[in-house]
Amino acid sequence: MFRVMLGCMNRVAETQTPNGLGPEGVSESHNEFLRDEFRADFADLIGRSPALQTVLAQVATVAPTEANVLILGESGTGKELVARAIHDLSAHKNRPLVRVNCASIPKELFESEFFGHVRGAFTGAVRDRVGRFELADGGTLFLDEVGEIPLELQSKLLRVLQEGQFERVGDERTRTVKVRLITASNRDLLAEAKAGRFRLDLYYRLSVFPIEVPPLRERLGDVGELAEHFIQQAALRLGVPRPRLTRLQVQELQNYDWPGNVRELQNVIERAVILAKSGELHFDLPHRIAGLASSTRPTIGPGRDGEEALSLDELAVREREILVAALRRTHWKIYGSDGAAALLRIKPTTLVSKMKRLKVQKEPGGV
């Protein structure tokens, strides 16, 4: 089996105090920046497909260089993992890898998030704050969903890439950093540039070495190995016997086109392990509930390949079963790292809301 192990996925990025940072800046960097880790479940790049081996060869080629890398691919393909691999195989491997999800930053806060700000720079700026570029000095900065960066900020990003210099918001002092930049996007950035929504010169600067991560439907031969990997991890985390994956079940998984890619496969496997009875796995593959998103009628209609689509009522029953199974596994504990919300990878408030909607109540004798 062709497997690239990336053992430091569980490691919080090593912190080093940037020049000019006081104790508050370092503490904030610990709390707000360095603990946004990649999901440990993607700790391996697993597979033997030619498509994946092409990606691995590209990673091995570019990692030792200082070239900017643009990782392209659909959501859920593992672009974050590729970025981690590049960092871990580079000369910066013992320095910080700082990740920024550009899609989650409010437009008005981009400049502060990237470059930091000084006290009093704007309403709410009660103390100096270090930015992501400064925090990643000497290491790697990974900008995920880089296409979300506002057009008016892209010129400042281009300046940092060209000159390594910037100013914090509200500060006149010019700071210098040396950062290896890796970016990722599920958009066609060249098309965005031609449409005037992304700077063409920035696009060329970012895409010195592009890597395209293939969707799972183009590497279906890897599904079996990935499924076994996720089954093992889910069983260990849940503290349950490892269910057996049969050849027919692998074929069942390979017969689906996985629009959500590896992330969707992981979620399907985790649900199956939670609901496994007597070691038997049953997959609630989304093709069995096709059409519900566009239909508001709780009726059963024809699904893909002649299968029946679930009604809204049946879907609610399935959802309720998953919630109850997770709550039983965690002895009806909702909050905390060992609670049902963490097990289901949703917010505790979301779980409480779902329990109310589905009328899930703590069973007698539940801890």
Same domain, 195 and 310: no
213 Cβ contact partners less than 8 Å away, ≥ 6 residues apart = 55, 71, 72, 73, 77, 78, 79, 82
Has residue 193 got a pLDDT over 70?
Answer: yes
268 found inside a domain: yes
* Residue 364 identity: P
Same domain, 66 and 152: yes
DSSP symbol at 260: T
Q: Coil, helix or strand for 174?
A: strand
**Mean pLDDT along residues 7-20:** 34
Has residue 287 got a pLDDT over 50?
Answer: no
288 found inside a domain: no
**Mean pLDDT along residues 212-232:** 94
Same domain, 266 and 313: no
Q: Cα separation of 282 and 261, whole Å?
A: 19
Same domain, 255 and 208: no
Torsion on CA atoms 90, 93, 98, 102, rounded to nearest 10: 20
Q: The CATH number of the domain where 323 resides is what?
A: 1.10.10
Q: What is the pLDDT of residues 236-281, one digit of tens each?
A: 988 889 999 999 999 899 988 898 999 999 999 999 999 887 778 9
Has residue 312 got a pLDDT over 70?
Answer: no
Task: Enter the tokens of residue 33.
Answer: 């920046």
- In sign, the C-alpha dihedral spanning 215, 217, 220, 226 is positive
Same domain, 145 and 231: no
Provide the residue count of the chain: 367
Sheet holding 209-212, edge to edge: 97-101, 140-144, 180-185, 69-72, 209-212
Question: Is the Cβ–Cβ distance between 71 and 37 less than 8 Å?
Answer: no
Same domain, 124 and 265: no
261 found inside a domain: yes
Q: Coil, helix or strand for 209?
A: strand
188 found inside a domain: yes
Domain's final residue, options 251, 283, 315: 283
Has residue 30 got a pLDDT over 50?
Answer: no
Q: How many domains does the chain have?
A: 3
Q: Cα separation of 120 and 129, whole Å?
A: 11
Q: The CATH number of the domain where 101 resides is what?
A: 3.40.50.300
289 found inside a domain: no
292 found inside a domain: no
291 found inside a domain: no
Q: Where are the alpha helices (DSSP H) in 73-209?
A: 79-88, 110-115, 132-135, 151-163, 189-194, 200-206
76 Cβ contact partners less than 8 Å away, ≥ 6 residues apart = 216, 260, 261, 262, 263, 264
Same domain, 45 and 189: yes
**Domain membership of residue 348 as a residue range:** 298-367
Q: Which pLDDT score is estimated for 299? A: 35
Q: Which pLDDT score is estimated for 14? A: 34
Question: Is the Cβ–Cβ distance between 115 and 168 less than 8 Å?
Answer: yes
Q: Cα separation of 217 and 213, whole Å?
A: 12
What per-residue string of b and e applies to 134-160 under the rule 16 or more CB within 10 Å gives b? Answer: bbbbebbbbbbbbbbbeeeebebbeeb
Same domain, 161 and 253: no
Same domain, 151 and 66: yes
Tell me how many degrees the CA angle 237-3-47 measures, rounded to the nearest 5: 90
Strands (E) across the chain are located at: 3-5, 44-46, 69-72, 97-101, 116-117, 129-130, 140-144, 165-167, 174-176, 180-185, 209-212
Same domain, 267 and 329: no
Q: The CATH number of the domain where 228 resides is what?
A: 1.10.8.60
Q: Cα separation of 65 and 113, whole Å?
A: 27
Has residue 172 got a pLDDT over 60?
Answer: yes
Same domain, 105 and 195: yes
**Mean pLDDT along residues 296-303:** 37
293 found inside a domain: no
Q: Which pLDDT score is estimated for 286? A: 61
Q: Which pLDDT score is estimated for 44? A: 55
Domain's final residue, options 197, 212, 227: 212
Domain's final residue, options 184, 212, 240: 212
Has residue 152 got a pLDDT over 50?
Answer: yes
Same domain, 186 and 323: no
